[in-house]
Structure 1
Amino acid sequence: MVLVLSLLLVTVASSSGLADITGDATCDNQMSFYADGVLYSGANDNNWRASSSVSIPGDTQVVAVKCVDLHVVGGIKLALSNGIKTDATWKCSAKYEDGWNKPGFDDSAWGNAVLASYNWGSNPPSLNGKASWIWTSGYHGEDLIVYCRRVIVVNGGWSDWSEWKSYGQCKACCGTGRINQWRSRTCTNPAPGPGGAGCVGSSLQFRTVDCFTEACEDRCPANTVKYFPYPGDSRRFCQCDNRVAKPMNCAPGTVWNQNYWTCVHDN
């Protein structure tokens, strides 16, 4: 019996900000390795007693392996740094279907992987005790081309907070006022994958901070109540109290009249 390994060496920079998923993989005989439907390496023939180092993006949702058995028995063995390893939780099929290696593919009709007992000792050494050899139930030569996949449950993570943004107007016409602010974050670092948990907590934060306008000077003397027009809006006015002027709203249909120090009907 001749056993051959598909060598795979993949290094892909992750754009998610998450650490790459790394590990080792092997296949008897020819392996094609996919992450989220992307083929990172084709099949190469080599010694099955060695494994291949793998590195895929940290937000990968599905890892998948196509293995071609050239001889009597076939097998796939893989262990990744996120805890994913070849075991009976994988889904395997001898039938090719479009999209089989992509997120969202319905593998409910596929059988669970069969743990194969081969007299291959502890090979390859890098995977000894870390994973099991898997195949379909036809691992004694019945199924020569096998497709196996494993969904990685990705829980959601928060992005960084955005910059604070103000809403409304500074609650002062002059002097020191208060203004409301908000900031947001999104559950996209990473976004939750199929079956993954969403983010815990609020996507919004609010606060009220000081806002500084021009000095009131003689418009707001100490211990004095005064009124003056709100700049650029006749439906508002400024109420001055002890060196701080606060914007006030006239009733609907009225405008500020400085002569009477009150809001009058807008005729």
Structure 2
Amino acid sequence: MLLSYVALMVMLAIAVNGNGQNQWMGPRYYWPDWENEEECSVLCGSGLRPQIQRATCYKRLTCYPEYMPSPHRRNVTCNTQPCGDTCPPGVDQFLPHPTNTHRFYQCAFERAVLHHCPAPLVWGQDLGRCAWTWEV
């Protein structure tokens, strides 16, 4: 009886391989759709957007962190439309971010490139620089 129990435990231990698959049940996780990890690196003029895809368990009770694969990462092109009047040729200027006061765009070479103010500073459009909140 004890020998049968030990044999069963050994078979179950062998059944799970290093990629989280059980030989009898198949993979314990799946790869859902890609998620945007950050916004596009430009407002216009063609940039990159980092994306991430994390493995997700089919059954939470059967997933073990040591068998979960590392996330997949990729960059996709975004905001490929020309800047036109937003960043005209030969004009270097700054533009405020429409929703985040800690970010701004810098127009250069007909592209509006995203920049971040260091915490806790915010973008001061009239000052043309990152500043303390009481300055803007």
**Count of residue pairs the alignment pairs up:** 117
Distance between the aligned counterparts of 1:225 and 1:237, measured in 2?
13
Distance between the aligned counterparts of 1:252 and 1:204, measured in 2?
28
Q: CA contact under 8 A between 1:186 and 1:203: conserved in structure 2?
A: no
TM-score normalized by the length of structure 1: 0.37
1:176 aligns with 2:43: no
Distance between the aligned counterparts of 1:183 and 1:240, measured in 2?
31
User: How much does 1:239 deviate?
Assistant: 0.6
Q: CA contact under 8 A between 2:32 and 2:56: conserved in structure 1?
A: no
1:182 aligns to what SS in structure 2?
strand
1:210: which partner in 2? 77
1:167: which partner in 2? 37
Within the candidate set 99, 108, 112, 1:241 is matched to 108
Map 1:119-198 → 2, pairs under 5 A = 151=8, 152-153=11-12, 154-155=15-16, 156-157=20-21, 158=27, 159-185=29-55
Instruction: Work out which of the two has the higher radius of gyration on C-alpha atoms and give 1 or 2.
Output: 1
How far does the alpha carbon of each residue in 1:207-244 deviate from its partner, in whole angstroms, 9 at most, with x for none? 12212266421121234422111112233211111121
1:219 aligns to what SS in structure 2?
coil
Percent identity reads: 26
User: How much does 1:177 deviate?
Assistant: 1.8
Q: Look up the equivalent residue of 1:250 and give its one-letter code.
A: C
Distance between the aligned counterparts of 2:35 and 2:49, measured in 1?
10
Q: CA contact under 8 A between 2:30 and 2:58: conserved in structure 1?
A: no
Query: Unaligned 5+ residue runs, structure 2?
Result: 22-26
User: How much does 1:245 deviate?
Assistant: 0.8
Q: CA contact under 8 A between 1:254 and 1:263: conserved in structure 2?
A: yes
Map 1:36-185 → 2, pairs under 5 A = 92=1, 110=2, 112=3, 151=8, 152-153=11-12, 154-155=15-16, 156-157=20-21, 158=27, 159-185=29-55
User: How much does 1:187 deviate?
Assistant: 7.0
